[in-house]
Each structure stands twice: as C-alpha cells, then as structure tokens.
Structure 1
Amino acid sequence: MVDRLVDGCLDTDAQNLLSSLKSHITDMHPGVLKTHCLPWSRDLVNPKNKTHARYLKELGEQFVVRANHQVLTRLRELDTAGQELAWLYQEIRHHLWQSSEVIQTFCGRQELLARLGQQLRHDDSKQHTPLVLFGPPGIGKTALMCKLAEQMPRLLGHKTVTVLRLLGTSQMSSDARGLLKSICFQVCLAYGLPLPPAQVLDAHTRVVQFFHTLLHTVSCRNFESLVLLLDAMDDLDSVRHARRVPWLPLNCPPRVHLILSACSGALGVLDTLQRVLLDPEAYWEVKPLSGNQGQQMIQLLLAAARRTLSPVHTDLLWASLPECGNPGRLRLAFEEARKWASFTVPVPLATTAEEATHQLCTRLEQTHGQLLVAHVLGYIVSSRHGLSEAELKDVLSLDDEVLQDVYRDWTPPSKELLRFPPLLWVRLRRDLGYYLARRPVDGFTLLAIAHR
C-alpha cells in the first residue's frame, strides 16, 4: 500500500516520511525489529503460496525466539534484584514464620483486641502517640502482637500494610540500626517508593531521619494505612539500659500506627518509654488469662502436638496450676506434661519458671548425660548470636571431655578422625524442642536458647 496524490502520482513526501520513521524505529530498537521482504502477487495472502508459507513460518519462529529472550532477560533481572534483597526477604520470612507458630495456640484476649482495633480506627485520621502494651514476662504480649498483625486487615482495611518485628529473634532485629534499615526497605517496597540510598545507610542518624521522613511520606499518600508492630523492646540492644530512645517517633502522623510491647518491672524499658511517651492513655496492660482460657490453651497445645492426657494426669496438671493465667508458665507446664507416659507416675510440676528450667535440665541430664548437656548448653549460651549445627558439632568434636565421655563404652568408627556422633546431637535437639530457638544471621540459621 502506497500513498498517491490526487492526480495519481506517487506521494514522495509521504514515502520519505515513512522511510524516515521506519529507520528511526529500527535504530532505536536494533535487536527487536526484523525486516521481511515479500514479492507482491495477487495470491500473496494465500497459505498455499510457498513464499507466504515460508514467511509465516519465519515470523512465528521469530516471535517465539524474541518472546523467550525477553522473558528470560526479565527473569534474570528479577533474580538479580532478589539476590540483592535476599537478606530482607529472609528477615520478613523469619518473623512471619515465628508469628504463625505463636498464634496457633492463641486464645482469649478478644475484648482487648476489639478495644485496640477501636483505638486504631479512632486514631487513623489524626496525629496520635504510639501505643505500648506492657505486662510481666510470659503474660502473652508476643502472642497478642502476632494476633494483632494477623487481624490488622480486618481492623483497618484489607489494603493496610503491616510490618511485624519480634525483636531479638534475629540479628537485624537486635539493634536499632538494623531494625530501622529492614523496616525502611520493607515499607518502600510495599508502597513502591525509592529505596534508601547507600549514603543514608552509612550513618545511623541518617537512617533515623529517613525513617521519620518515610512515615510522613506514607501518611501524605492518604490511601493505605501503615502499622508497625515492634514486640519486646527489652530485647533491643540500643534500648536496654538506655535513658531515651532517640529514633522513636513521639507522635505518629495520620494513617501511620506504631505499637510497641515491653515488660513491666523495676528499671526496665517500660520506665524509659514512660519518660518519653507521657500520654497515660498510650499504655495498655496485658492481664493474665482466665482459668477457662488457660485450660483452653493447654488443650490447643495438646492438639497441636497430637497428644492427650489421661484423667489422672489431667487432674495432676490442673492441681499444679491453680488459677494460672500466665501463658508462659502454661507453656512450660505443657512441655513437661507432654513427656508423661500413661503408665508412669509423674513428679509434681514446678511452680515457677526457674524451677521449670531446673526440672528440664535434670530430665535432660538423666537422658543424655550431665557432661554432654552442660557442654552443649554452655557453648550455645556463650556464643554471641548462637551457633549453627555444623559449628556446634565441630566444637563438640574438639572437646576432649565430651569425646572421652561419648566413646567410653564403645570404639570410635575411625581412629584417624574422631568426630562427635551426630545422632547424639539429634536426640538432644529433639528433647530440647521448644527451648531451642533458631535465628537467621548473615544468611545462616543459628541455634540459641529461647527466652520467650
């Protein structure tokens, strides 16, 4: 098809412009466009025409090759971007996994959840102070924060962006700089905002400034609400024993919410927060569960572990926990009760967390030996962030006392290379169970003693 003038002559100006446009497009995208030249004939569009059939085949092959190339190129770009942010995805995945484990046995607190949801909706359209949940250790603050994170879309809308951090359970959530860095990256990705540049990440003060600016930027979008939940402020290294929290916003802008949790007690982080956040309505006490809710929690724990107790053992369990509404204490009692066999007469349960810990160590020493248990727990506690399983087995393989105790009754499989038997560690790890925490550090999973 060509353009012609009124007198039937060829429109050379139109032809020149068309040629110029084609050349420009070809120069702009040299690897995308391909020219196909076909001789003109009356049956050109007839598939039976060999020239036309060859053209269709070449065009189809070209389309498939180009489509495959573009898809693979995009996948490589996404893979490169994913590798650059792999640390962030690991951090988010760790806290989500921890949260999903905690809320499996969550019960009660429905009235408190409703009141918190009402308070969040009331503060969503105006400037407000952060909220602080407080209570004694083991009262269930972590479970409540995880349940809040799960129910946040229902409380504030399905487009609400929720960021949850269980402080102290990973390397990045143990210090303020790493915490703010991971939060800023996650919020920027969630809202499609530019990521913080490298020069910002080099200094803590710049990270704090970027964090505060980011909260106001999100608020000005006037669309999605942002909720930040920071559990266990006591486990943040820069806050513990500090007199102030310089990075903590004293007021949250509209559509931005900050919820903290802290342990109550003498000279704790709660005292520091009370010196900074002066509004008494910002503090919400987490109280013990009722007797019925405590029994419900034990039943949920038994169901999750696929265990049941005989009537005699059930009566002994409730007798050892008179009106105990502390979820941490209930969890410790369950960990002991799940080991009971139907034909045994168990020892009375401990009445405090310290006694329960001593009871656990006594049982482990009777099963695995005092020397092995003492050395394994000592190595884990002595490490800064924890030990990987490979590191722990290497350390035990270099411990002469452990090796002498292990190989006292039988001959090592190899005289050239003495290694700690991995099966002994597997048995001890199984019996430690809930008391052994796993923390992501620099792309590896380290083992530490759980304190929640």
Structure 2
Amino acid sequence: SKDANERTLCFLREIVDIHDHLSDEKASKFIDMSSETDIDQEAKKLLDRLKNIRIPSILKSQNIFKYKVHWSSNGINGQDHLKYIEQFNNDFYTSIKEQIDHCVQSRYTIGSDSLQHEILEHAIQCKTHIEKFHGRIDVLSKLEKYIKNNREHQPYVIYGDSGCGKTSVLAKTAIEIFKWWSDRSVSVILRFLGTTPSSSTIYKTLHSISEQISEIYNIPMISYSDINQLCDQLELNLLLQIPNNEYLVILLDSIDQLHRDAYDCKWLPIKFPSNIKFIISTLPDHENIFVNLKNILNENLNLFIYIPPFESSTVEIIYNDWLAIKKRSLNNEQHLFINNLMKKKNQILPLFMKLVFDIISIWHSYDPIDECLNELNDVDDCIRYLFQRLQIIHNNILFSRSLCYMTACRNGISQNELEDILSLDDDVLKSVFQHYIPPVRRLPGILWTRIRNDL
C-alpha cells in the first residue's frame, strides 16, 4: 500500500553459521529442509528473493532491521543470545512507538477538523448507497437535464414513498455529476440529513454547508447564531460570490428527517446563479413539507420528480445482478418462489426488495423454502422477519435487550457502553452463561460483535 512505510516494519534475523549445523535436532525449526540434512533450495531461493529484493523495494532502510547471530546448541536461547534479544526488544519498542505516535497524530489532525469529518461521513454513506444501485435511468436523465439547464435558478425536488430509493438516487446523482459536467470545474456538497449530529437540524446543516462553501471558494463567512441571518448569508452572499466558471451542486436528502422547525422550508434558497444547483428529497405526506415546497416553487411541476416503486420484472433483473456480484445463485424452485412472491405485489419499494434479497442471499441450494415469506407484505414485515431470525441465531434475550438499549439511548451508544450495560443485565448473563460460571462476570465482547456484523 501507499503508506507501507508508515505502518510496516521488518525484522530479519540471520543465523550465519546454520549451514554447519544442519544435522542438529532443532535446525529444521530455523531453516526449511527437504530432508534431514539437505536444505530446501526452492524455499531458500524464494526467501532470499523476499528478503533481498521484494522487501527492500517497498520499505525504506530505516524500516528494516537486520540481526546476525551464531548458532547455539538449542538454536536461539536467552543466555547465548542475550545481546541480540535485548537489541531486538529495544528496536521493536522504539519503532512501534514512533509509528503509533505518528498514526495517532495524523488521525488527531483529521479528527480535529469537524467539517472534514462531516464531509467524510456523508461521502462514506454515499459510497454505500451506490454499491447496489440499479436502473432509474429515466430519473437520472431528468436530473441531468435540470443540472445542465443554465436557465434554471430554482431548487429541484425529489419525492416518493419511504423506501422508494430517493437516497440512492441522490447518492448516484452525486457521482454522476462529475460525468455530466466532465468539462467543467464542479464541486458537490452532499448531506444525508439526520444521519449525523451536524445534519440533525436545519441550523447545523446550513452552517456546515456555508462552512464548506467558504473553504472551497475561500469566501469569508460569519457564524451567525440566528437561522435567518445564516440563510441570508448563504443565499445573498456566499452563493453569489462563487466564480461564474465554477459550478456547485448542493444535495440534501430527506429533509423530513430534520427537526420540525425546518418543515416550513423558508430556509431554502429560492433564487441563485445558473452555475449553482440545489436538489432536495422528501416524503410526499410528512407534515406539510411537500405542500410548503409546492407553494414556495409556485407549483412548477418541472421542478418536481416522483420516484416510483419497481415492477416485478425489474426486480428479477436486479436480483440476478446482485446474486452475480455476491457469487451466489438460486435453484429453480427458489427462483420460481421469489418471482411469484414479487408478482403478487402491485408496487415494490426498493427497500422492501433489498430486505428480501438479504434474506434469500444466504440460502443454500438444499434449504427448504420458508413459506412464512409469503406473509411479507411490506418493509415492516421484512424487518420483523429478519429480527426473528437473528433472535434464533444470537440468543433471544441477548439480541432483544441489545436492540432495546440501543433504541433507548437518544444520542447513540458506543460499543463499550453497550457491553457494560449488557454485563449488568442479570437476565442477559443467565441466558449466555447457562452451562458454566465465567471467571469474570462480564459479557464476552465477541457476542455483541457478531450481532453488530449481522445487523
């Protein structure tokens, strides 16, 4: 990797006279032998190549430590090789400490910049959302048309039912923009609202966006405590100062996830230069958000796009692609069952489709089909089915209590905190330690790790 010298050390020990002691009983533990007295020449050749060519070509000399010692009757022992062992210990401790200090310092530098951390969080989410993105060519083409329209100076609204794929469409748009405007200097500001503390309220979101614009274009800004002043600064100052040859696209997903004070949408910039584009997504029936947006945009239908559910024929194509990516397949009976299940649905939300895929992607060819799947009618049914399955796998009490404690924590909970709480729950410990008494009365960390990975 590129940072190999910052994360890798090599310690090479050479027993210079081992060839004179090949007949010793323990010699084979320190060198590859093809027989009792002969060296494995092929292994020796490969090892020499690794030590003398491949490692030095990647690591700097200060990352490679070499020690030459002589053979003793027991190979390597603490008495005859005391000086070598002490030197190795000191070198190992010093070099590892330096690398850890350097790594911590670099992470501290990155972590100390809250804006950079916020941008990175949403970039990671974007990458996750587009991994299994499929279709929606008609929607993307309309978004491309909006973005390339130099005469459009107002925001664009994506709307659809919960689970219809609005978030994935917005994430895909963030990536495709660089293809649509490949000949221009373009920046993208992306926020999946409600997924981070800095995107949980409209004030924090606008402040974060303003900070990012200020950093990108070197435009000074004032951190107003009043939301109205912050909105005015964004619309009447920051956006207007962006150079005409620079293009900016702001994407805000799920404004329905913000606090209620954002639902009037009065914070939304209504007019901006043609080199600025603003795209938001929302539910059509959450509070009065959609009605307020239509009023603000004068019910201009060209500024609204609906994300429809999938049809069953599309689901089959997507499933085949996803199974191929995971290098999995279904037998004919399983394939027919899933096709019939989807054909029964009038409308198929992408989230429902994704949850069903999570269920079938772990099927074996010899697994019997669970007829309970026929009772899955919506996203909630799928989630309940998945949770019931995980309860069976991971212990009913442990799994249910883990999720209860996570849900009860308004501001989230760390892994260590959750393990502490579970370790204080007598019912959990009794269910885990049914057959023996542990030396330490604490939940083994691996149990929660397994649950987290499956979630």
| TM-score normalized by the length of structure 1 | 0.71
- The answer to whether the 8 A contact 2:146-2:152 is kept is no
CA offset at residue 403 of structure 1?
1.6
CA offset at residue 225 of structure 1?
1.4
Which contiguous aligned blocks of 4+ residues in structure 1 show a shift greater than 4 angstroms?
A: 78-85
Aligned to 1:251: 271
Q: Which amino acid aligns with 1:413?
A: P
1:400 aligned to which of 426, 434, 439: 426
- SS in structure 2 opposite 1:105? coil
The alignment status of 1:97 with 2:135, answered yes or no, reads no
1:112 aligned to which of 134, 139, 143: 139
Aligned to 1:280: 301
CA offset at residue 142 of structure 1?
0.8
Using a 3 Å threshold, how does the CA distance of structure 1 residues 98 and 83 change in structure 2: closer, same or farther?
Answer: closer
Alignment of 1:65-144 (within 5 A): 82=109, 86-122=113-149, 124=150, 126=151, 128-144=153-169
- Residue identity (%): 27
Aligned to 1:30: none
Using a 3 Å threshold, how does the CA distance of structure 1 residues 297 and 398 change in structure 2: closer, same or farther?
Answer: same
Using a 3 Å threshold, how does the CA distance of structure 1 residues 309 and 86 change in structure 2: closer, same or farther?
Answer: farther
CA offset at residue 82 of structure 1?
5.0
2:316, 2:267 → 1: CA distance? 41
Aligned to 1:448: none
Alignment of 1:189-338 (within 5 A): 189-194=215-220, 196-197=221-222, 200-219=223-242, 221-239=243-261, 242=263, 244-265=264-285, 267=287, 269-278=289-298, 279-322=300-343, 325-338=348-361
- The answer to whether the 8 A contact 1:309-1:342 is kept is yes
Q: Which runs of 5+ in 2 are unaligned?
A: 1-101
1:266, 1:86 → 2: CA distance? 34
Which gives a bigger RCO, structure 1 or 2 (Cα 8 Å, sep 6+)? 1
2:291, 2:435 → 1: CA distance? 55
Aligned to 1:442: none
TM-superposition CA deviations, 1:250-269 (whole Å, max 9, x none): 22332111101011226353
2:322, 2:431 → 1: CA distance? 36
CA offset at residue 139 of structure 1?
0.9
1:325, 1:112 → 2: CA distance? 17
| CA radius of gyration, larger in | 1
CA offset at residue 364 of structure 1?
1.6
1:300, 1:174 → 2: CA distance? 35
1:425, 1:180 → 2: CA distance? 37
Query: Over aligned residues, Cα RMSD in angstroms?
Result: 2.5
2:233, 2:109 → 1: CA distance? 23
CA offset at residue 203 of structure 1?
3.5
- The answer to whether the 8 A contact 2:110-2:116 is kept is no
1:261, 1:420 → 2: CA distance? 42
Q: Which amino acid aligns with 1:101?
A: T
- SS in structure 1 opposite 2:185? coil
- The answer to whether the 8 A contact 2:256-2:286 is kept is no
Using a 3 Å threshold, how does the CA distance of structure 1 residues 214 and 151 change in structure 2: closer, same or farther?
Answer: farther
Q: Which amino acid aligns with 2:168?
A: A
1:217, 1:130 → 2: CA distance? 15
Aligned to 2:79: none
CA offset at residue 215 of structure 1?
4.2
- SS in structure 1 opposite 2:139? helix
Aligned to 1:25: none
TM-superposition CA deviations, 1:425-448 (whole Å, max 9, x none): 12212222xxxxxxxxxxxxxxxx
1:359 aligned to which of 380, 385, 394: 385
TM-superposition CA deviations, 1:179-225 (whole Å, max 9, x none): 1122112112222223x34xx24443332232223443345x21111
CA offset at residue 366 of structure 1?
1.6
- The answer to whether the 8 A contact 1:218-1:226 is kept is no
| TM-score normalized by the length of structure 2 | 0.70
TM-superposition CA deviations, 1:368-413 (whole Å, max 9, x none): 2221122111111111132111111111112222122222322113
- The answer to whether the 8 A contact 2:422-2:428 is kept is yes
Q: Which runs of 5+ in 1 are unaligned?
A: 1-74, 433-452
1:370, 1:177 → 2: CA distance? 41
1:251, 1:81 → 2: CA distance? 39
Pick which of 210-219 and 356-365 moved more: 210-219
Q: Which amino acid aligns with 1:90?
A: H
CA offset at residue 326 of structure 1?
1.9
Q: Which amino acid aligns with 1:175?
A: T
- The answer to whether the 8 A contact 1:130-1:282 is kept is yes
- The answer to whether the 8 A contact 1:105-1:300 is kept is no
Q: Which amino acid aligns with 2:146?
A: Q
How many pairs are equivalent? 345
CA offset at residue 302 of structure 1?
2.5
2:290, 2:283 → 1: CA distance? 6
Alignment of 1:6-21 (within 5 A): none
- SS in structure 1 opposite 2:142? helix
1:410, 1:251 → 2: CA distance? 69
TM-superposition CA deviations, 1:222-267 (whole Å, max 9, x none): 1111110101111112456x4x123111223321111010112263
- SS in structure 2 opposite 1:225? strand
